[in-house]
Each structure stands twice: as structure tokens, then as C-alpha cells.
Amino acid sequence: KGERVAVMGPSGSGKSTLLTCLAGLEEPDEGEVRFLGRSLRRMGADAVSELRRGRITSIFQFFHLLPTLTAEENVAFPLMLAGTARKEKEARTAALLEEVGLAERRGADPSDLSGGELQRLAIARALITEPALLLADEPTGSLDASNSERILGLLRELTERHGTALLMVTHDPEAAGSCDRILHIRDGRLSGDPVSASA
């Protein structure tokens, strides 16, 4: 809980496949994925889909926001799907937009936001359901150095505050260095021993 782990490896090593297996979008050929003590393989498709709507969430290099919704509506969307009461949905959305520094941009369309703002918005949307696990696929890959640094700091701060575990796939040594541990993967297997990011 609250731990940040980076996964690094060359292109084609299996990093993205690992993420899709952890998210329950694919089943591994061997072994199993266990989440909070339960095997995803044995849970059934409906139960795994339910996990992805709240307990396991993802952010991506290219944001995957809904272009027809405002910033506020994008963040609130998972709560709307969950049937959260209007007052609670509004309060939680407002609080998270404040946390990521986008309170004054809540009415903006995604097309009017910068890359850094879009990624902050994607982080807010991913955290609105208070997930146990946040999967991040190259979250700084399309950002400049300044925005990358800000996003990494925000991820560190918010995962600590919300007690969310973070698994980040990245090619960026600085991004990996912001995590507690770094795992290296090659040809679909862990390569060497996990190392502390501070080592």
C-alpha cells in the first residue's frame, strides 16, 4: 500500500503486456495475477470489470480523456458510472481538481489544456475512485522536462496521501528514480534482482 514501483526494459520486453495482465485485460499464459489476495483468473469477467471501474485504475502517455466532456466532467465520470450521489460526486471532484492544481480550469475542454494539465487531469480521474492500485504507462513520455518533474512529484505526493500503490512502466531513468523500487524486465521475465530506486 502506497509503494511506488517502476518497471523498465527495452521495447518488446513485455512491459505493456504485463500492465494489461495486471489490469485484467489479458490472462497470462502461465501463473496468475493476485490482487488483494484474490486471483483475477478465478474472479470472472464481471468481477474483474468491476475492479477496473474503481480498485485498479490506469493513466497513459496520451491521456485517453473524453474530448466531449469538460475537465470536471472527465474527473467525475468514473463516479457517475458508479452511481455516486450528486453531492458526494461534486465534492470529491472539486477536492481532487484542487489537489492537482486545476480547480480554476474545471470548465475547460481537454483541447484547451496543455500537455501537463492533461496529465494532471488524467491523474485526478484515475484517483477519484480511491483505487488500491494505479497502473501508469509512460506517464511522462509525452511531456517536457519541467512538466515531467511536476507530474512525478504529484504522483509521489498523491499516492502517499491516498495510500495508493503505483506501478509505473517507463523508459525514463528519472521517472524510475522517483519510485521506491525498480524492476527490470527482458523477454517477458524479471532480469536480475529488484533494486531500491535510491541505490
State the 10-residue block means of pLDDT for the chain, 199 residues long: 91 88 87 88 83 83 85 93 91 92 92 89 89 90 83 87 91 91 90 61
Count Cβ atoms below 10 Å from residue 170 Cβ, excluding itself.
Answer: 25
Q: Give the integer Cα–Cα distance in Å for 44 and 47.
A: 6
Residue 193: what pLDDT? 62
Residue 36: what pLDDT? 85
Amino acid at 118: L
Kindly report the pTM of this predicted structure.
0.85
Residue 194: what pLDDT? 59
Residue 6: what pLDDT? 95
Read out DSSP for 75-98?
A: HHHHHHHHT--HHHHHHHHHHHHH
Are the C-beta atoms of 119 and 59 separated by less than 8 Å?
yes
